[in-house]
Structure 1
C-alpha cells in the first residue's frame, strides 16, 4: 500500500470513529430538556431576525437543534439533539451528526433551524429512516438581508435553514452531509 493511500485510510478511519463517538452512548437529553432548549432557540430566532414570526407562521413544520457541537483537529465531527414541531407542538425528536476532514482546529456551538415550507417536503422528511442533506433533500441556507430581515429570494424553496452561532447568524456554512435520525424520547 502506498503511503498516500495509507494516510487516506487512517484519516477515514478516524473520521468514522469521530462520527460514531458523537452517536454513541453519550448522556442524552430528556424530552423535557430538549423542548426547553428548543423554546429558547425559537425565542432567540424571532427576536434577532426581522420577519421571523410571520415566516414561522407559514411553516408546515420546524426542526430545531438548539445546540449542535462541532469539534475537530484535522478530523472533525458534530452532534446535536432537537425536535420537529408541527403546528407549534413537538411531534418527534431528532439527532443530527456529521463528520468532516480538512483544516480545522477548535470547537464551536451553533443552533440550526430547518423550516419546511411545503407539506410534501415535510412528509418526505418525516417518513425517511435517516435523512441526509444533499442526498435525500436540498436545503437552502438563508443569509440575512439588509437590516437583519429574512432574504425573500429563498423563501420559495421547500426547505430553508438558519444557522446561528454565539454572535448571531453565521456566514459561509453548509449543512451538506448532515444526517438527521429519529430519537426515541
Structure 2
C-alpha cells in the first residue's frame, strides 16, 4: 500500500491535533482545572513577582495551566483553564490554536491573560469565541528578568504572559487562536 504525500500529511496533522488534546488536564472536572490554575498562578507570581501588580490591577484573569502544541507542517494546540474575577472562578475556557507552514516539533507552556479593563473582560465573556489578535499585548519573560507593567503594557486592554515553556517547536507559520467557554 502506497500513501500519497497528501494522505500522509493529513494523517500526521490529525494525529498532532489529537495528541494536543491530551494535555494532562484530563476530564476530572472543575476541581482539577482549579487546582492546576492555583498552582500555575502561584508559579507565575513566584517566578515573576512583577506580575502580582498586574493581577492586583486587573479586572479578571484567565489562567491556562497547560497548553500543548505540536506541529509538522500543520499544527495545533489545546488547553483548558479558569477565568477568575475577584479571586473566584466564574467560568472555564478552552484555547485552541491551528497553524500551517514550515514547522516541526512540540512544546508545552502556561499562559495567563490579564484583563486590564472591565470593558475588555466584558467583551471576552460576552463573545461566543474570543480570537486573540492585535488587542492583546504579549509579555514573554526571560529567565532572571523582572516582568512588570511598563508604559506599553499598562495601557493594553489585555496582557498575555507566556511562561514555563518546555520542548522544541520551530518554524514560520500562519496561526489563529480561539478561546471558547466550556462546561468541564
Query: Would you call these one fold, judging by a TM-score over 0.5?
Result: yes
1:73 corresponds to 2:72:
yes
Please give the alpha-carbon distance, in whole angstroms, between the structure 2 residues aligned to 1:16 and 1:47.
37
Q: CA deviation at 1:141?
A: 0.2
Alignment partner for residue 142 of structure 1, among 139, 144, 147?
Answer: 139
Cross-structure match for 1:115: 114
Q: Flag structure 2 segments of 5+ consecutive residues without an equivalent.
A: 167-172
| 8 Å Cα contact 2:21/2:77 also seen in 1 | no
Greater strand percent: which structure? 2
Gaps of 5+ in 1: 1-5, 168-173
Q: Which residue of 1 aligns with 2:50?
A: 51
Deviations 1:38-77 (A, max 9, x none): 0011001101113222220111000010000001111110
What does 1:1-185 align with in structure 2 at a 5 Å threshold? 27-134=26-133, 138-144=135-141, 147-152=145-150, 153-166=152-165, 177-185=176-184
Structure 1 residue 166: deviation in Å? 3.5
Aligned residues: 169
For the Cα contact (< 8 Å) 1:15–1:100, is it kept in 2? no
Q: What is the aligned-residue RMSD (CA, Å)?
A: 3.0
After superposition, the Cα gap between the structure-2 partners of 1:55 and 1:13, relative to the gap in structure 1 and judged at 3 Å, is same
